[in-house]
Structure 1
Amino acid sequence: MKKALLIFFVLFCITSSQSQVLISLIFGDKLNSPFLEFGLEGGANFSSISNLETSKTKIDFNLGFYFDFKSKKNPSWMLNTGVIVKSPMGAKNVSLYSLNNADLDNTFKGGNVDREIRYFNIPILIKYKFKNNIYIKSGPQLGLLAKAFDKFSKEINGEDIAYKNNVRDKIHVIDAGIVIGAGYHINSGKGLNITLQYYYGLVPLMKGDLSPNQYNRSLYLTAGIPIGKGKADKKRAEKETFENGVILPEEEE
């Protein structure tokens, strides 16, 4: 299952052209230590926009990488951070509005509008793992706007037609809010991290007085996998063996 998930991550990275994630796959073992865990994580997020009339929850996929910086005094406490490289938010069934173009307005009359807002999100969370490998975490999350558009769609004569209206200039470039979550680390910390966390946006979504009471909301269900952790552990064991002058069985004459 771990190999299948890793293959999925690699394919996802290639199709998304996220070179920084591919680099992290190659050098993952160099980013792991007894007090640092590095890995990839991805899954589904269920997003909505508060106080946006007629809108519904939008389902998308997210992908990113994470770091767990463990406290040397008490490894149960960690700083959990990283970057969610692919993290679309938004809402479905936004109220239809005029595109200031008679032909487009007539074409999409009675159609649907979905709002998609893409961010690079950076969580900065305090994480605590219990002895049974269940963990909880909470803290702020910052988002940098990449793209934002409204997708108009309609079926005409059995064919689906669509039009993307760029709304990036109407949305704040920086988003920020609070994250709270919980999860389980399989196989004593060496396997998958299964996490459920909720993001509560605190920065108004729209600029000016367009919609001052609209905020991002998103529920994340993710699976994270340490990258290169086993290889890093093996290297450390070999180094300690060499430094202690222990001769391995296969080296004895």
Structure 2
Amino acid sequence: MKKIIAISILVFYCYSGQAQVLMSLIFGDKLNSPNIEFGLEGGWDVSTIHAKNGAKALSGFNLGFYFDFNLKNPAWMVNTGVIVKSPMGAKGMPVYSLNDPELDNSFEGGSVSTNLRYFNVPIMMKYQFKNHIYVKAGAQLGLMNKAFDEFTNETESGDDLVLTKQTRDNYHPIDAGLAIGAGYRLTGGNGMNIGIQYYLGLMDIEVDDSGPMQTNRVFYLTAGIPIGKGKAAKRQKEKEMAK
């Protein structure tokens, strides 16, 4: 019961990156058990929007937490969690009208970056080989947090002119698609894991569906660190010795 309460509190606070890290450090050893591994995961990602005119890759940093739930066969597990911070979108698109002649003139010849922010939840089956290499595949769901376009242009003086336009109403609040990944566990299969993951969006992200279907594409390079796993293992050993 205590473990369920701790997980519920952690999920509730995941909407803040700082709170997520703090709660993870506090409850890390409580969330780990012989059949559950909990940890923090973060790294670098590159995203784009398929079928968006002029879209180029946009890079950023991601951060979240993960759970590995062991099944009866120890090589198989369910891998899930929440990617709390995950910049998605694309850059390099041509500017469009802001319905303001002065602004349109200022940004003529510039470019637009589309920035999308989701809370992403991957749900995958994971298989770890005896050599500590693992593979995983499944689905990923996303709940949009915010969206904005950033207009940029260089002025005659060489300075950058920047304008941000909120665009959340232009996108569906839910995204979903397929996710696959692979990686390696260090320290004999019990330490940090280094992995790659690819997300293939299957839903049209734009509310206006008069144009081609636009979908998210993201490549992740991550490092996962178990939180409190050593303490949890020690606590379990003490319980077994006390029997």
Alignment of 1:32-43 (within 5 A): 32-43=32-43
Structure 2 unaligned blocks of 5 or more: 1-15
CA contact (8 A) 1:206 1:212 kept: no
Q: In 1, Cα distance between the equivalents of 2:70 and 2:174?
A: 29
CA contact (8 A) 1:205 1:212 kept: no
CA contact (8 A) 2:17 2:84 kept: no
Aligned residue pairs total 228
Aligned to 1:80: 79
Structure 1 unaligned blocks of 5 or more: 1-15, 244-253
Q: In 1, Cα distance between the equivalents of 2:18 and 2:78?
A: 24
Q: Secondary structure at the match of 2:115?
A: strand
Q: In 2, Cα distance between the equivalents of 1:84 and 1:41?
A: 8
Confirm or deny that 1:111 pairs with 2:115: no
Confirm or deny that 1:124 pairs with 2:132: no
Amino acid corresponding to residue 168 of structure 1 in structure 2: R
Aligned to 2:62: 62
Aligned to 2:204: 204
CA contact (8 A) 1:50 1:217 kept: yes
Q: 1:144-195, CA deviations, whole angstroms, 9 ceiling, x for partnerless residues? A: 0011111001222132221111111011100000001111111123211111
Q: 1:112-139, CA deviations, whole angstroms, 9 ceiling, x for partnerless residues? A: 2111100000001000001111010000
Q: Secondary structure at the match of 2:94?
A: coil
Alignment of 1:108-187 (within 5 A): 108-156=107-155, 157-187=157-187
CA contact (8 A) 1:91 1:116 kept: yes
Q: Secondary structure at the match of 2:74?
A: coil
Pairwise CA distance, 1:210: 4.2
Q: In 2, Cα distance between the equivalents of 1:218 and 1:17?
A: 20
Q: Taking structure 1 as the reference length, what is the TM-score of the superposition? A: 0.87
CA contact (8 A) 2:51 2:212 kept: no
Alignment of 1:86-101 (within 5 A): 86-101=85-100
Q: Taking structure 2 as the reference length, what is the TM-score of the superposition? A: 0.90
Which is higher, the Rg of structure 1 or of structure 2?
1
Q: Secondary structure at the match of 1:176?
A: strand
Q: In 1, Cα distance between the equivalents of 2:233 and 2:211?
A: 52
Q: 1:21-80, CA deviations, whole angstroms, 9 ceiling, x for partnerless residues? A: 311111100000111000000011110111112111110110000000001x21111000
CA RMSD of aligned residues (A): 1.4
CA contact (8 A) 2:120 2:141 kept: yes
Aligned to 1:232: 232
Q: Secondary structure at the match of 1:231?
A: helix
Amino acid corresponding to residue 213 of structure 1 in structure 2: M
CA contact (8 A) 1:47 1:91 kept: yes
The share of aligned pairs that are identical, in percent, is 59
CA contact (8 A) 2:62 2:84 kept: yes
